Every structure is written in structure tokens, then in C-alpha cells.
Structure 1
Amino acid sequence: MVRIFNKLRYRFVLVIVVMSCLSACKKELQFEGGDNYIQSFSLKTDNSVFTAALTGQDIVVKAADDVSLDGASASIRLSENARIYPDPATITKWDEDQQFVVTAHNGEKLTYKYSVERSSVLSENSVVLATQSDVDEFKKLGVTEIAGSLVIGEPLGKDSITDLSALMNLKKIGYSLVINSTYAATKLTGFDKLTTVGGAIKIESVKNLAEINFPELRTAGSIFVLNLSMQALSFPKLTEVNKFIDVNAPIAALSMPNLRKVGELFSVLNYSGKAADVQVMSFPSLKETGGLIIG
């Protein structure tokens, strides 16, 4: 009787062992299939960790406009025994689109596309930058969009602002951009990424200002310039002004090569009301305007 029991117990243990082996073999066969997935992806900078959203074969990292991911270190988890090319450890330009190929154990390949989705940093109120220190401090906020107006300088007082490079990441102003008389530089630069001004661009009685350049501006509500010293205005990508353009200054060069529409009057005269001494003038794309007065 004992012998029969031992034999049955032996057979039972043997069955368990065989089933375990079959289960392990099945898992091994599955593993040897085509697992070539990125299971997680993140980037680490000095201050933050950015975890990517994985959708299909897209790797999307979300970051604010003013955050650079270049030089970040990547952390990636792949399917078991899969490999990735190029090695993310060799990538430094994480602000740019990248492409990776993940190869499974059996050689099957899958291509992933990496990209960065940028988000604006919004200031919901109007912003007044009365002094150079105000301008410099504003940069630390990382603001890329202002819902209200942006006012540079005071209407009266000592010239104080000479450098607007701290505003280079600003992309949109919901209402007006006002440059007051205490702006002291001879050139208006620093709006390198500004594409939209919903209201007026107003520049009046800035005594030293001779040149204006908005390299990326596409649309504005209106443009008003009243200045004795103004010589050159450049809006290379401006396409539409909803209301009027009123330039009252003795300018020699006016460049708006992509301007297609001015909703109301387009006027360029000098400060005294006489014809401006325009030597170089370019707006070959202009199709529609409520009226045109050019000296």
C-alpha cells in the first residue's frame, strides 16, 4: 500500500514538473516572437524629469517654450532582449525631432518618432516694464504669451531701457505693444519670436530710435509710428494688419514684402505732414487696403 502511494506521489510530482516545463517553454516561445516595444521613455535635465507620452510609434515629450531639453539624459525601458538604434545615450539634441529603430530578439524592427510638444507660459494680465531691471527680471518668469498689453518704458522721465533681448521668447501679445519715450536704444530689437500683436503697435516720440525690426511678426491690429528720428522699418513676415498702418516719420526704408492686407488706411508721411523721403520701399504682395498714402 505504501509502495502504491509513493508511486502515485512520484507521478503527481512528475506531472507538475512537466507542466512547469511546458509553461516555461511556452513563455520562451512567446519571448522569441516579435516584442520590439518602447515601454517607457523619459528625459532628465538638471532640474526636472520629462516623461514621454507613448502613442503607437510616437514618443512625445511636453515642455514649456522656454525650456531647453538639449543635453538631457534619456531613460528608456524596452521589451526584454530588444535593442534600440541609435543609442539614446549618444543623443544630445533633444529639442529636435529624432527617429529610433527598436529591434526584437527575432530581428523584427519597429520605427519610433520622437518629438517635443511645446506649451506657452501665459501672463494673464498686462505687463509694464518701466526700467531695464524690470525687463531683465521679466525674463526669469519664462513668459511666452501676454493676454493683455505690454508697455515698455515710461511716457516721461529719464531714458532707462537699452536692451530688450530678455523678451526674445515672447510669441504673442493679446492686446497692444507700446514703446514709450524712455526707451533709449537706437534700434528696436529683441522681439525675435513675436508673431502676433492683437491690438496696436504704438511707438511715439522715442527720440533716439532710428530702426525697427520685427523679424517674425505675422499679424497686428494696427501699427502707429510717430517719431522724428525713425529711418528704417522692417517687417519681413508681416501678412495682415486688421485696421491701419500710420507711419509719421522721415523714414528712408520701409520693408513689408509679404504684406497682403491692411483693413483701413495705409499711410506713410513724415513728421511735418509732407511726403516722406522713402528711398527703399517694398510691399509687393499687397492686395487689399482701405486707402494708400505713400510719399
Structure 2
Amino acid sequence: MKQLFKILMMAVFATAFIACNDDDGVSFVGKDNYIVAFSLTVDGVTYDASITEGKIKVSIPYNVSLENAKASYTLSENARINPDPAEITAWDEEWQFIATADNKESRVYHYTYEYSDISKSGNVVLETQADVDKFKATQINSIDGNLTIGTDNGDGIENLDGLSNLESVTNSIIIKSSYKGQNLEGLASLKHAGSIKLGTLYKMSDNETLEDIALPALEEITGDLILRNALVKNINLPLLASVGETFNITTDNLTSVNVNMLSFIGDDLTLIGSTTATESSDIESIVFPQLKKVGGNMTIQYQKSMTSIYYPVLEEIDGMTTLDQCSQMPGLVFPELVRSGGFTFTQCSALSDIQAPEMLKSGEIYIRNCSNVNNIDFSKMTEVDGDLYLNSGTIKDLTGFAALETVNGVFTLTGVKNVSDFSCLSHLKNVKGLSLGGVGITELDLRGIDFNGGELRLTCEKLATVKADDTFNGSIYIRPDNTSRITSFTFEGFSVINGNFESGNFNYVTAFTLPMKIIKGDAIIAISGVTAAPVKDIDIPNLTEVGGSLAIQQIPKAAAKCSFGSLMKVGKSLNMKVTSLRCGVEMPKLQSIGEAFTSEENKVSTWQISDEEEFNYPELTIINGSLTINTGAKTDFKIEKFSFPKLRAIEGGLTISPTRITDAYRNEALTTLEFPSLESVESIKIVNQNALKNFSTFAPLFTKNILTETSQWSVSTCGYNPTYADMKAGKYEEP
């Protein structure tokens, strides 16, 4: 039975299989609804379409007409299409087709077409008019390379009509001297260029005929636009929207520029009105109505007639903006500019108005030799990333910088005598230097401003009070203008100066005092180079330490006091040039000189003295370096004794000598030297001290064998001149 069941089941399956493969009386039902292939044939040439994701696109050369084109197509088996492409003649329009499968399922296709370029790959050089004329016959509208028109000195090319089909040059269009046309009419179809060059950035074009640069279809230059030729007058690029790199127009004769659609310049924008570095160009106005960004520097120079250049929507200039030698330009306004790489305005005598009211940050700013600038509006700018330099006698105030917080360079005001108030810069917190000269302020408040190691430089006529924080993070240079008549000067704050200090030119003050406790760098304390200056009292009562060198000089004869009552340490040299001073320089607590010297530095302290009545350093114990004491002329020198009771070591030589070795400088006053504690010195030299006859103060240096060589001891033209042997023998004073 089981075997019979198996046979019956096999028969059933066989019958079923045969029935499924029997076509007799059963129709095929298709499910596919694809357009498998599509093409158009024009004048015997077939152009196959691309078919992707329901889109049919036919690409044909730009010079082929689709009039009377015939369509061919292939569909899926048993599929139908509506409308029938065979019945369509207007293939220069877009169409929609529906492909329907046998099972009634449909798919939609969209037909479009595009024109393709007839392209030439490689560079094209057209040296003669015949070359230009032959080019038209090629029907080429795109060059994937450079196009050079003409030569430096070959046959002339009169016109560019043969280039009328040209729409694109991927690299440079180079116009040479042998092109003799006045315009570029043959390039009227040009839409895209890599660069257009009439001349280069390094050499002017010497073309003698080309005056009008009109390219009405040009939309984009991916590289440079360089037009550097003396004769160019008119530039008309009405559709140009973008220049990828440099935009440079340098010509003597420019009268008009139309770049109304230009919105982007990737590198420098340069407008120079001269090929010979003198004001020449006659253009009066240029407008960039759509320009939003300049990716490099912007330079406007040598424009003798220009009265306006306007950028109504310009937002960003990555480089410097320079306006130079544009004598008729009254103002420069950037209503939307937010960020700039900096500004330089020089030799623009009519310039009075500079505005960038929305700008938040700029690079360095220089305004120099622009004598009529009186209105500056950078009222929202918080940061200058570089120097800020203002030099114009007509600037009235600094309210145009009211929001300024940081100057990452030196802030300089010079020759701005009408500026009498610094308080409008209340937001200023960081500078790397401040220089004020020829400014009308009388009081300067710098509290809250970090100088970041920079210098405060003051050379004003009327300034009499300066205030700062107790710790001043920078250096100070203060020398009033020669015309100054201030009779007093006040420092407030300044307890610690982290840099250097220098003073001088206080020709009319009667008292001079400084509040500093520590000067970490070098210090030059000078009062006046005018010998008859009236200062009576010079007092630096709180100064305990100078980290570098200390120089004291230009102390007038009238001074009755010159005191450094708390000074204990001078890190490097102590130099004094006080040949007119009668009162002496008081340093009763000074203990050390030169301990901050490095091995490579010149370790010398020089004291030039004359009229002082006292010379006493009771606490000085060490001088790391040499000490030279220069005595003055014998008619003026009055010091009888040098006293250093605690000085133990001079890590160098000791020299006592006049400033000049002449009879007029053979001093009669000095009779006594007191160095009772001196234990170490490299050498001693004493010259031209007529009254000095006793050298016993140096006896321990010989008895303890500190001085062991004859070269270490020299005394000449004194009242007594003991040799090295005399000192070794104990003959310390005149017999």
C-alpha cells in the first residue's frame, strides 16, 4: 500500500508541473514599466540619454538645434508609453512621460536636455589675426587651459570677433601688447574665466590701444582680475559676482568702473590711480553696491580726483585697508563693516570723516599726515589687534573709540592737541603700550589698565598728574615737551613698576618726587638738562630696589636735596652723572650693587661727580663689578673724603680719576679715602688727585695678600704716588 501511495503522489506532482508549463490558452502578464533606453537623432547624429531615478537627460553640443529631432526608445516587454515620443517634435521643451506595464502599474519619467561645451583641452595661443579668425571655425566655446591673445612684439591683432562663441576659459586669459583693439568686444559671450590679465602684479602692461574693458556676460573669475596698464579708461563688468583671488586695477586714466553685482573678492582689492607713483587718475567715484567680503588687503592709492568710494554692504575685510595720497577724498564710510584686518590712512589732506560704526574688531589702525580728520566713528569696536596710531591736529575727542577694551599693540596719540580728555576710554583694560605726545590733557587716569609689559610714554606739554594702579605692569618714559611750563608733576599709584623707568625734561618744576617702591627693570632718574632749572627738592623716599641699572643724571645746580632714602639694592650698574650737583646724592641704606649681573654683561658702575659736598655710602657692602669714580674740574670739585665704611668686596676694579687727564682736572680737594672693610678687589687705579697723600685704608689688601701683582696697583700724579713695592713695604702715606 505504501508503495502505491508514493506512485500516486508522484503522478499528481507531475501532472501539476506539466500544467504550469503549458502555454496553450494562457497569456503572459508583464509587471515591468521601465524606459530602458532613449535617444535623439539630429541630422544623422544620435545623442543617447542618461536615465536615472525617473529622469531622462539628453546632452547635446551647444551649437546643435533640436528642431526636427527624432526620438528612439526601448520599453520593458509589453509596456506602453504616453505620450508617444515618436509624435513629439518640440524637444527643446521639457516633457513628462508615463510608462505603464501590462498589469496597469505606471511609472513617471521627466525629460530634460542640456547643452554641452565644445571644449579644447590645453593652452591656446592666438598670435595673429588669422589665428583668431580660424578659431571661430572650430566652434569651441570652452578652453580647459590658458588663452593667450597676441605677443609682446608680433603682428597686430585688430579684433577678437573669432572668439564670439567663447564662454569659458578655465585658466588665464592673457592679453599681450600686439593686440591693437580699443575694446574686448569679441569676448562678449565670456561667462567664466580663471584669470584675466593685462599685465601682471609685478609688471605693467605696455599695450598701447586697449581702453575699454567691457565683458557684459562675465559672471565669475575664479582667480585674478589684473588690469595694469596706463591707458585703461572704462571697466564694465555688470554681471561679475565673484573674483576668487586678486582684483587689481592700476591705470593713469580711469574714468568709470561698473562692478554692480560683485559680492566677493577672495584676496586683495587694489585701485591705484597711477603707473608712476603720482596722483593721476581722473575717476571721481566708485561704488561697490553688492560687495560683502574682501579676503585680503584693500588699497586705494594715487586717486587725485576721487571724492567718494562707497561700500554699502561690505561686512568683512580680512587684510589691511589703505587709503594713501587721495588728496580730494573727504571721507570713507563702511556702514556694515563688522571686522577688518586694519586701516592705514596717510597723506589724504581733505580726509575729515572715517566711519565704521558697526565694526567690532580691527587689526592695526594708523592715521598719519591727514591733517583734517575730525570725526572718527569706531564706536562699537572693542578690540584693535595691533597698534592704534592717531596723528591729526583736528581730532576733537576720542568718543569714536568709546567701546574700546583692548589694544594688542601700542596706542599712540601724537599731535592731537584738541584732545583734552581721556576719560571717554573708560572701557579700556588692556594695551601693550601707550604713547601720548602733543596731547592737550592735564590729567591721565590709567587705573584698571594692564600694560602687559608695554611702555607708557608721555611727552605732553600740559600733563601734570598721572594715576595708575599700585602695580604697573610695564615701563614708563616721561619727558614733557620742550614747550612745557608745568611747575609740578604728580604720580599716584606706581608702587611697583614691572619694567623700566625714565624721566627728564622737567625744566620748570620746583620739586620732584616719585612714589615707587620697586622698579624691576632699569631706571634713569633725570630732572632737566637746563643747568639753571629751578628744582630745589628731589626726593624718591620709598624706592627700595632697582632690579636693573640705575642712572642718575641731569640734576640742576639749584637742587638742595637729592635723596634715595630707602634704596637698598641696585641689581646691576649704578651710574651717576651729577657734575653740577652741590648737595650730594643720598643713599644712606644702599647695601649692594650688581648682584643681578649675568656673566656676559659689562659690569661697570661709573660715578661722575663734582660739586657735591658729601660722598658717603655707610651701608654699602658689595659691588659686583667695577667701580669708576670720576672727579670733576679742580675749580668745582669740593669733596674731601670718600667714605665706604662697610664695603667688603668690589668684584672688579676700583678707579678714582678725573673725567679728563689734564691739568685743569687735577683735583685739590680730595684728601681722604675710607675703605676700612674692603677685603676683595681685582685692582686699584688712582690718578690726578693732588691732595691725596695717605693710602693706608688699603693696607689690609697688601698685608693679607689680596693684591699680589704689580699690575693690580697704580697711583700717579697724586700728592703721594706709592708703588706696589711701597705698599708691600708698608709705605702707605707720604713720608
Distance 1:268 1:238, change over 3 A: farther
**Distance between the aligned counterparts of 2:53 and 2:117, measured in 1?**
26
Question: Is the Cα–Cα contact under 8 Å of residues 262 and 290 in structure 1 kept in the other structure?
Answer: no
2:233 maps to: 230
- The Cα shift of 1:97 comes to 4.4
Gaps of 5+ in 2: 1-14, 200-204, 304-735
Give the letter aligned to residue 236 of structure 1.
Answer: L
Measured on the aligned residues, the alpha-carbon RMSD in Å equals 3.3
1:91 maps to: 89
**Distance between the aligned counterparts of 1:52 and 1:217, measured in 2?**
29
Match of 2:175 among 174, 179, 197: 179
Matched, 1:290 2:297: yes
1:242 maps to: 245
**Distance between the aligned counterparts of 2:252 and 2:104, measured in 1?**
70
Q: Which has the higher helix share?
A: 1
Give the letter aligned to residue 287 of structure 1.
Answer: K
1:277 maps to: 282
Alignment of 1:134-213 (within 5 A): 134-157=131-154, 159-164=156-161, 166-174=163-171, 176-189=172-185, 190-197=187-194, 199-202=195-198, 204=205, 205-213=207-215
**Distance between the aligned counterparts of 1:282 and 1:235, measured in 2?**
12
**Distance between the aligned counterparts of 1:238 and 1:88, measured in 2?**
43
- The Cα shift of 1:276 comes to 2.4
Distance 1:48 1:108, change over 3 A: same
Deviations 1:176-207 (A, max 9, x none): 2112334344331325243131x452264241
- The Cα shift of 1:59 comes to 1.6
- The Cα shift of 1:226 comes to 0.8
Distance 1:101 1:213, change over 3 A: same
1:260 maps to: 264
Matched, 1:221 2:224: yes
- SS state at 1:237 partner: coil
- SS state at 1:68 partner: coil
Deviations 1:196-225 (A, max 9, x none): 31x452264241542422523312324123
**Distance between the aligned counterparts of 2:91 and 2:281, measured in 1?**
48
Match of 2:52 among 52, 55, 61: 55
**Distance between the aligned counterparts of 1:54 and 1:241, measured in 2?**
35
Question: Is the Cα–Cα contact under 8 Å of residues 159 and 182 in structure 1 kept in the other structure?
Answer: yes
Larger mean Cα displacement after TM superposition, 238-247 or 99-108: 99-108
1:5 maps to: none
Give the letter aligned to residue 270 of structure 2.
Answer: F
Distance 1:106 1:162, change over 3 A: same
**Distance between the aligned counterparts of 1:185 and 1:260, measured in 2?**
30
- SS state at 2:110 partner: strand
Give the letter aligned to residue 217 of structure 2.
Answer: P
- SS state at 1:74 partner: strand
**Distance between the aligned counterparts of 1:104 and 1:74, measured in 2?**
21
TM-score w.r.t. structure 1 length?
0.75
Give the letter aligned to residue 260 of structure 1.
Answer: F
Give the letter aligned to residue 293 of structure 2.
Answer: K
Question: Is the Cα–Cα contact under 8 Å of residues 130 and 153 in structure 1 kept in the other structure?
Answer: yes
- SS state at 2:125 partner: strand
Question: Is the Cα–Cα contact under 8 Å of residues 251 and 270 in structure 1 kept in the other structure?
Answer: no
Larger mean Cα displacement after TM superposition, 55-64 or 100-109: 100-109
**Distance between the aligned counterparts of 1:125 and 1:249, measured in 2?**
35
Deviations 1:267-291 (A, max 9, x none): 2415564242225533231422402
Query: RCO (CA 8 Å, sep 6+): is it higher in 1 or 2?
Result: 1
- The Cα shift of 1:151 comes to 1.1
Distance 1:229 1:120, change over 3 A: closer
- SS state at 2:166 partner: coil
**Distance between the aligned counterparts of 2:244 and 2:23, measured in 1?**
75
TM-score w.r.t. structure 2 length?
0.33
Question: Is the Cα–Cα contact under 8 Å of residues 246 and 265 in structure 2 kept in the other structure?
Answer: no
**Distance between the aligned counterparts of 2:245 and 2:90, measured in 1?**
43
- The Cα shift of 1:134 comes to 1.4
Match of 1:82 among 80, 83, 108: 80
1:6 maps to: none
Distance 1:47 1:213, change over 3 A: same
- SS state at 2:23 partner: helix
Question: Is the Cα–Cα contact under 8 Å of residues 201 and 223 in structure 1 kept in the other structure?
Answer: yes
Give the letter aligned to residue 52 of structure 1.
Answer: A
Distance 1:250 1:286, change over 3 A: farther
Deviations 1:233-266 (A, max 9, x none): 3252231241341331422221223232251251
Deviations 1:133-192 (A, max 9, x none): 312322343444434321112333554331335343331332x21123343443313252
- The Cα shift of 1:118 comes to 5.7
**Distance between the aligned counterparts of 1:179 and 1:151, measured in 2?**
6
1:101 maps to: 98
- The Cα shift of 1:63 comes to 4.0
- The Cα shift of 1:77 comes to 2.8
Question: Is the Cα–Cα contact under 8 Å of residues 140 and 165 in structure 2 kept in the other structure?
Answer: no
2:359 maps to: none
- SS state at 1:51 partner: strand
Give the letter aligned to residue 273 of structure 2.
Answer: L
If you compute each CA radius of gyration, which structure gives the higher value, 1 or 2?
2
Larger mean Cα displacement after TM superposition, 44-53 or 156-165: 156-165
2:675 maps to: none
